């Protein structure tokens, strides 16, 4: 009995340390949010000589954590794009099928994967011989912004497959922009404290079992 108590106490101790560490990470993440409640990536440069940059889906990996757009987790997503030259920019979010149809005959680059810490972007170039129509004239965007200087949009997350598109406002070749993505994550603090409390409970149970095991050992020693 006492051996089993010590074994379980040790396992609970290790489990509690994992929970406490995870809770600390969640609280640290909550502390990184800006004044609007968004947890954002760093602003990184994306550039192409083609007509457009498009993502396959809204999936960002930051500091080893996957951010996958999920309406049950994120309230809204914010995308900000700062032009790298004097050209007015366009940034938009739309259903992936609509984006694919819009750009299907145009030379553009698909951003297949994005990772941060360190930053890395993987691209796949898609061929085409037609210049796309001006993006701001299209009516399928769920959210968009365009003009000179930094362009920022906020989109309330919906179910489905979605893509981000960055282009020049006039749909010309040569897109150069620094892009930052953010997600509204209001649940981090509550989740972090909940995980920490669970860790403390597990630690308390482990300590109780260790005490029980020690007392059982002392009783066996006295009886002998």
pLDDT of the residue at 36: 62
pLDDT of the residue at 143: 94
164 neighbors 92 (Cβ within 8 angstroms): yes
State residue 23 phi and psi, 5-degree precision: -65, -40
Question: Prior bond to 118 cis, omega within 30?
Answer: yes
Residues in Cβ contact with 136 at an 8 Å cutoff, skipping those fewer than 6 apart: 90, 144, 146, 169
37-184: CATH class: mainly beta
Structure tokens at 115: 């990772």
Helix (H, G, I), strand (E, B) or coil at 120: strand
Spell out the domain ranges in the chain.
Answer: 2-28+188-223, 37-184
State pTM to two decimals.
0.65
pLDDT averaged per 10 residues, the chain (length 224)? 58 65 56 58 87 77 44 69 91 94 95 78 91 96 95 85 93 93 63 65 66 55 45
């Amino acid at each position: 009995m006492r051996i089993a108590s010590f074994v379980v106490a040790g396992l609970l101790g290790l489990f509690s340390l994992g929970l406490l560490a995870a809770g600390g990470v969640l609280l640290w993440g909550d502390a990184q949010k800006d004044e609007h409640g968004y947890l954002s990536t760093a602003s990184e440069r994306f550039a192409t000589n083609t007509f457009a940059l498009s993502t396959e889906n809204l999936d960002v990996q930051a500091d080893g954590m996957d951010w996958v757009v999920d309406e049950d987790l994120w309230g809204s997503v914010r995308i900000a794009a700062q032009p790298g030259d004097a050209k007015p920019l366009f940034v938009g979010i739309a259903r992936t099928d609509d984006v694919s149809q819009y750009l299907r005959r145009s030379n553009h680059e698909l951003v297949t994967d994005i990772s941060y810490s360190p930053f890395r972007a993987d691209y796949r170039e898609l061929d085409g011989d037609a210049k796309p129509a001006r993006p701001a004239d299209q009516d399928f965007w769920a959210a968009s912004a365009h003009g000179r200087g930094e362009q920022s949009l906020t989109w309330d997350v919906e179910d489905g497959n979605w893509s981000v598109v960055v282009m020049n406002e006039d749909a010309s070749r040569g897109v150069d922009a620094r892009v930052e993505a953010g997600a509204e994550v209001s649940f981090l603090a509550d989740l972090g404290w909940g995980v920490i409390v669970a860790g403390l409970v597990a630690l308390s149970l482990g300590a109780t079992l260790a005490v029980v095991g020690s007392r059982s050992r002392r009783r066996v020693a006295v009886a002998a």
